[in-house]
Structure 1
């Protein structure tokens, strides 16, 4: 059952300028492995993390560096969540997070679907 949907769009040029002005943002937003990526890939990961927060219904208990976008062997992007962020995902009954990302024409976008295995009873 779908319990949340999130989407985000990032202007890659604007994102790059922000990172140039405030390099410490890289440490606040991305895992050490992610920080090695090109700016367009970081912009897509930023969009993915924003979309995840939207799909979760808010950022309470969520920490950016506890969300890492990791590719499967096939290249498909996947979230690896740890710490209190993993606790938030579990507490909300989310069992699967679906992620799609893309970057082209100066824009990066991400779409997230949060899914739960349990059906909520109507009250």
Structure 2
């Protein structure tokens, strides 16, 4: 029997109004710095796009907390991408430096949960070793 253990957990909460301002002001450069083209397309297609941007930003912050590194050592916001599986469940897709650090720590899986209520978006992420 193979035993798995939790390497780290991360949680982040974001005020959706921050992203409402970015969207309203047309701050495309900021959004393009944080989100992948797939995330930008997904969020822009939604009626309440700011809510979806906020959720994805919270997920990226939660991943950094679970990994224990913060955004340094060559990590980029775009190295982390929130995607939905065929059932709509959000998952974290890693590339670049994030994927390297994930592999170096011998991690096997991440578990992501997203939720929003009122003006807040929250993400919880668990990394398994």
With the shorter chain as reference, the TM-score category is 0.7 to 0.9
Q: CA deviation at 1:94?
A: 1.1
For the aligned residues, what is the CA RMSD? 1.4
1:41-60 aligned within 5 A: 41-58=52-69, 59=71, 60=73
Residue 10 in structure 1 maps to residue 23 in structure 2: no
- How far apart, CA to CA, are the structure 1 residues paired with 2:115 and 2:105? 27
The Cα of 1:18 is off from its aligned counterpart by: 4.1
The one of 22, 27, 50 aligned to 1:39: 50
The equivalent position to 2:32 in structure 1, one of 27, 30, 50, is: 27
Calculate the TM-score normalised by the size of structure 1: 0.88
Residue 94 of structure 1: SS of its match in structure 2?
coil
- Mark the runs of 5 or more structure 1 residues left unpaired by the alignment: 117-123
Corresponding residue pairs, total:
116
Q: Choose from 54, 70, 74 the match for 1:61.
A: 74
- Quote the Cα distance in structure 1 between the aligned partners of 2:116 and 2:52: 8
Residue 62 (structure 1) shift:
2.0
What's the counterpart of residue 94 of structure 2? 81
**TM-fit CA distance, 1:7:** 0.2
Q: What is the deviation of 1:81?
A: 0.6
Contact 1:61 1:88 in 2 (8 A): no
Q: TM-score, normalising length from structure 2? A: 0.84
Gaps of 5+ in 2: 44-48
